[in-house]
Amino acid sequence: MAWLPCQVGRCYHGSMRKVYLDNNATSPVDPAVVEEMTPYFVEDFGNASSIHTFGQRARAATEEARGRVARVLGTKPGEIVFTSGGTESDNTAVRGVACQLRSRGNHIVTTQVEHPAVLSTCKSLENEGFRVTYLGVDREGRVSLSDLEQAISPETVLISVMHANNEVGSIHPIGQIGEMARSRGIVFHTDAVQSVGKIPFGVDELQIDLLSISSHKLHGPKGVGALYVRSDVPMTPLMLGGSHERRRRAGTENVPGIVGLGKAMQIAQDRMEDFNQRVQALRDRLETGILGTIPDTVVNGGTGRRMPHVSNISFLGLEGEALLIALDFQGIAVSTGAACSSGSLQPSHVLQAMHLERSRIQAAIRFSLSRMSTQEDVDYVLETLPQTVQRMRDTSLERLR
């Protein structure tokens, strides 16, 4: 990103290079997305359920966006339900299927590394009489298929395993999980908030029944998302009211947001190859540069299949939070884990589930790039970070003396 006047609250300098490497928390909206959304705030502002021309124009735009989302997933538009984001999609999928299938069984299988949107929904279902198995993961953050197989019981009605992890980027063997679920008549949901539009896949090929999407992770607006629901999957709606979204999600559609999501998905699809090559090369340059110049650094979840834009690195001997703040002063935005849990000073539940040592968990920083990241961004981090880490390590040594 370019040199911009610094407007971040903590920065005091009039101008400073700003490098945003926290795209798994949220990403800047693509100007082409904003352009496509704008008419739906002021000119074509109709309610998509209204019969008049204003309403019809809004409906047409909503359906075009639905088609765009469906194309990326390789499915039919009628299987896409628009929601307020990844959290609502996860809640709807897990709760909606569990409650609908309660008479068939009360067991859900998920993993310990899911986003809180899935974990909290599972916890609340436990209070309502469901039994939930939270599968552990290996040191690379991946679930084991044999553990999953063993966990399945005749009462299992739902398996929910995320596609790519938001903190470390590890990719779960979703295709094999889908196959295992389908062959046993179990519904399979995957949270693909961090993978959709970034790596190529189709819902049919991976035998996915439900899939969560969030627009703001792929250069679309915040507060809008989608849930893919295979046409024959039974699901109780979470939101009750009007007959919107084929009675699967009540509430007046967020037309500008939906248009933005559709456009963001289309652009992501068109640029996926570039994303996979260019962004991975930048991530690798960043990672190799850090490991090569800063002693006592280690990548978390770095081997096996992983998202091309994520690097989670522990700077041993430092507190990740302190390093995050020091980098923020230099105009560099990173994260210590998931956006919703950073600030809570709770150790990352994902790194804990990976059985990493406490000192390594506390020292972790997540760098997440996007297609808007540049080589200059990476080089600025590589110039700044070694001195910052050295200064902080020297200071903590002095304190110990």
Q: What is the DSSP letter of 137?
A: B
Q: Using CB under 6 A, which of 339, 372, 382, 392 touches ligand PLP?
A: 339
- Please name which of 203, 193, 243 lies closest in space to residue 79, comparing C-alpha atoms: 203
**Rounded distance between C-alpha atoms, residue 339 and residue 332, angstroms:** 16
Restricting to residues 221-240, which ones interact with ligand PLP according to CB under 6 A?
A: 225
| Residue 6 annotated to the active site | no
- Please name which of 303, 299, 283 lies closest in space to residue 291, comparing C-alpha atoms: 299
Q: Are 293 and 321 in contact (CB under 8 A)?
A: no
Phi, psi values for residue 78, rounded to 5°: -65, -10
* Per-residue binder mask for ligand PLP (CB under 6 A), 73-112, x = binder: ------------xxx--x----------------------
Of 6, 11, 122, 340, which one is the catalytic site residue? 340
3-state helix, strand, coil in the chain (%, to 5): 45, 15, 40
Q: Using CB under 6 A, which of 37, 48, 162, 365 touches ligand PLP?
A: 162
Q: Using CB under 6 A, which of 27, 156, 170, 194 touches ligand PLP?
A: 194
Restricting to residues 201-220, which ones interact with ligand PLP according to CB under 6 A?
A: 214, 216
Provide, rounded to whole angstroms, the least separation between the CB of residue 295 and ligand PLP.
31
Using CB under 6 A as the binding rule, whether residue 117 contacts ligand PLP is answered as: yes
Query: What residue has token string 């080589």?
Result: 375
- Which helix (H) or strand (E) segment holds residue 103: the answer is none
Restricting to residues 279-338, which ones interact with ligand PLP according to CB under 6 A?
A: 338
Using CB under 6 A as the binding rule, whether residue 178 contacts ligand PLP is answered as: no
Q: Using CB under 6 A, which of 191, 209, 287, 377 touches ligand PLP?
A: 191
Question: Hey, how many other C-beta atoms are within 10 angstroms of the C-beta on 127?
Answer: 7
**Rounded distance between C-alpha atoms, residue 94 and residue 134, angstroms:** 14
Provide, rounded to whole angstroms, the least separation between the CB of residue 143 and ligand PLP.
14
Give the binding site for ligand PLP (CB under 6 A). 85-87, 90, 115, 117, 162, 166, 191, 193-194, 214, 216, 225, 338-339
Q: Which residues belong to the active site?
A: 340
